[in-house]
Structure 1
Amino acid sequence: MRLIRPRAAAAVAALLLAATACGSSGSGSSSGLNPPDLKPLAKLGKSEGAVNLIAWAGYVEDGSDDPKTDWVSDFEKQTGCQVHSKVAASSDEMVKLMKTGEYDAVSASGDASLRLIASGDAAPVNTKLVPNYQDIFSGLKNGAWNSVKGQMYGIPHGRGANLLMYNTQKVSPAPTSWSAVFDDAAKYRGHVTAYDSPIYIADAALYLKATRPELKIKDPYALDQKQFDAAVALLKKQNADIGEYWSDYLKEISAFKSGDSVIGTSWQVIANLTAGEGAKVKAFVPREGSTGWSDTWMVSAKAKHPDCAYRWLNWIVSPKVNAEVAEYFGEAPANAKACDLTSDKSFCATYHAADESYWKNIAFWNTPIEQCLDGRTDVKCVPYAKWVQAWTEIKG
């Protein structure tokens, strides 16, 4: 069974203010963010003999969970860098751990990366020191969630979309829009499911962007107070129809198998596993597009083992290893050459790995900050700390 990290965010509002304490309006990939002036590593030195990593479950496998799943041992043999890793249960935990200065690198998602950049906990990355970076899909480079003003702050690892999944026997007609879980959710009251995280507010904002043009939403992660209030109101209305919020993928599979859930947000890997266990489900990107996630390996600005950290970044996105991680975890690989090395030759097609037109419809998770990420300077946007507070209210 593949390991999927639970991305549920802990409500630690004070911690989340870090991203809003820095930054001013500016141009670049992350418009509005002006991080501390840190310099990337200029050149590699000798291996320090160790590297301390924070990762999602399934990203740093050494054979202890499954003897056949091990991409750490060969790395240690080839580099002399002994890997010490800690699995984090949420993006908030990753941010907190990175602030300790005890870890060299982290596999950050977009709802954590800008916080780490803005607070100076993540250093800019010299991509020239990561040879495999040249083969990373172009759509993952210079993203709003992993770069600022053309400077990369990490090496992309993989990506996935948040899909609309439904039971084909109990949901008719087949849905084409997110309206099935928002405006029309009452039709399936008690059997609608949604992802349990403050970042899910962006899903509501994405739907409102398409259905309420008067709100003028350009970026679902850059919401002024009026836009934010509209998204929260929509989710509070949806709450009456929700049977269960999920963060544990096994529970979602079970709910769709039993019929407790018949429609809601999901991931491709969950859809595959659910169908594999006999449930009649389909999952797709609705006409409004979807949110999604892209994970980036970032180096700590306080890294005690920067050389080993860079060696790990290059290793984890090397074609063979990236293919192994993607299949084990259930995500599209970042390295284009990985697609020729997957054991399932249809894997990259299933996960749309090389289909950049597909990813153009995906709004990857980003960290909301006061300096609006859509470039507006005449208003303040609602920072992530308030998203966390609102999520608690939405769920009641």
Structure 2
Amino acid sequence: MKRREFLTVSAAVAAGTLAAPALIRPARAAGKELRILTWEGYADDQWVKAFEEKNGATVSVSYTGSVDEIFAKMTASEGADFDVIAIETSSYKRLTQEKLLQPLDQSKLPNAKNLMPAFQKVAAVVFDGKTYASPFAWGSIPLIYSTDTFQTPPDSWEVLWDDKYKGRIIVMDDANNAIVTTALTLGIPDPFNLTDEQFGQVKTKLLAQKANVASYYAGFDDGVSIFAQGGIDLMMSMGEPQAPMLKKQGANVGLVIPKEGAIGWIDCWAISAKARDVDLAHQWINAMLDEAVGTYISSKTGYGNTTNQSVNVEAGLTYADKLVFLQAPEDFAKRIEVWNEIKATPVQP
């Protein structure tokens, strides 16, 4: 199960368990429609129905399975088929370069005042001094460790290179996340724009780590299954939900953001460059910045929200300011090539 699939299942289980805020319900205006392209779990029925009734509109939701699919659907009509989309920060550069998004009018987003400080100004969604998206949900790529082995949490990613844990480490099979995390470990200032020399440093470092790695895993369930079987002390995790999943299987684990920081992801709402009803699109984003929606996101999916800090605190999600949020890398194809070379290189005895 990957992050998107986990979000879908969690939201489906939770659907209807959290009431939407009370809303005035005017008569629906004929022909007023908002077209949304998003991930499952980000346009649940209670939000959609409440929004329709408050704004006298019809909401049409299209779900997507990947960032590439969003890009393909947006380019096919130059953005004319959708009014609002949800996408991760790492994809905004690509979309804005293709002129598929328009800047947000902050005066039309009064609920933006609810955004926590870490999400007030996210560099990845600002271009030419204009903000193109509003943060909605977030999470991280943390380090999970066995509390049976570690009396205190390990404080550095360097623990994954410690010979003491040889064969007791698992790492996700993900080129970009592995490279960015290693660049952070090496203290490289910009892990998303590596020079050839820095690529070489990262590759050498990851080859050294490979001798300690018991397995590269794919998906939430795969990582949890391997860890829970025993003999694993450390895991470069796919995200926060893996910790409670492991605890349910009887594993004693903790989660930590090392001192070098960790990758963070943010899903945001943005408006298509050719939105038919820009005002209605802003009204949707404003509704999604309601604290009640933030409560739902964190309470029912385990991910962080951007508007209700108290709920994040209850869930232990207090480290957004320690994260390095994903941006588009300098050459994604090169990163995949380097990662494949690392996996194909035999471990030196």
Name the one with the larger helix percent.
2
Return the offset for 1:191.
4.0
Q: CA contact under 8 A between 1:47 and 1:307: conserved in structure 2?
A: no
Aligned to 2:106: 127
Aligned to 2:171: 193
Using the alignment, how far apart are the partners of 1:47 and 1:144 within structure 2?
39
Q: How does 1:67-146 map to 2 (within 5 A)?
A: 70-100=46-76, 101=79, 102-146=81-125
Q: CA contact under 8 A between 1:3 and 1:329: conserved in structure 2?
A: no
Q: Does the residue aligned with 1:259 lie in a helix, a strand or coil? A: coil
Aligned to 2:294: 322
Aligned residues: 318
1:190-216: CA deviations, max 9, x gaps? 64122524243111110011xxxxxxx
Aligned to 1:299: 271
Aligned to 2:245: 273
1:352 and 2:317 aligned: yes
Using the alignment, how far apart are the partners of 2:203 and 2:38 within structure 1?
31
Using the alignment, how far apart are the partners of 1:57 and 1:196 within structure 2?
23
Q: How does 1:1-396 map to 2 (within 5 A)?
A: 4-5=3-4, 49-62=32-45, 70-100=46-76, 101=79, 102-170=81-149, 175-181=154-160, 183-184=161-162, 187-189=165-167, 191-194=169-172, 196-209=174-187, 217-259=188-230, 261-266=232-237, 267-335=239-307, 338-339=308-309, 347-353=312-318, 358-369=319-330, 383-396=331-344
Using the alignment, how far apart are the partners of 1:393 and 1:105 within structure 2?
39
Structure 1-normalised TM-score? 0.71
Q: CA contact under 8 A between 2:170 and 2:223: conserved in structure 1?
A: no
How big is the alpha-carbon RMSD for the aligned residues of Structure 1 and Structure 2?
A: 2.9
Using the alignment, how far apart are the partners of 1:91 and 1:263 within structure 2?
29
Q: Percent sequence identity over matched residues?
A: 26
After superposition, the Cα gap between the structure-2 partners of 1:73 and 1:195, relative to the gap in structure 1 and judged at 3 Å, is farther
Return the offset for 1:93.
3.0
Q: Does the residue aligned with 2:270 lie in a helix, a strand or coil? A: strand
Using the alignment, how far apart are the partners of 2:30 and 2:137 within structure 1?
26
Structure 2-normalised TM-score? 0.80
After superposition, the Cα gap between the structure-2 partners of 1:190 and 1:278, relative to the gap in structure 1 and judged at 3 Å, is closer
Using the alignment, how far apart are the partners of 2:67 and 2:163 within structure 1?
29
After superposition, the Cα gap between the structure-2 partners of 1:168 and 1:270, relative to the gap in structure 1 and judged at 3 Å, is same
1:122-166: CA deviations, max 9, x gaps? 211111111211221122122221112432111110222221001
Using the alignment, how far apart are the partners of 1:208 and 1:78 within structure 2?
51
Q: Does the residue aligned with 1:268 lie in a helix, a strand or coil? A: coil
Using the alignment, how far apart are the partners of 2:266 and 2:258 within structure 1?
19
Return the offset for 1:3.
8.9
Using the alignment, how far apart are the partners of 2:91 and 2:143 within structure 1?
24
Moved over 6 A (4+): none
Using the alignment, how far apart are the partners of 1:135 and 1:77 within structure 2?
23
Q: CA contact under 8 A between 1:55 and 1:86: conserved in structure 2?
A: yes
Using the alignment, how far apart are the partners of 2:30 and 2:257 within structure 1?
44
Q: Which structure 1 residue ranges, 5 or more long, are not aligned?
A: 8-45, 63-69, 210-216, 370-382
Amino acid at match of 2:342: I
1:54-99: CA deviations, max 9, x gaps? 323322222xxxxxxx322222222233333343333333333332
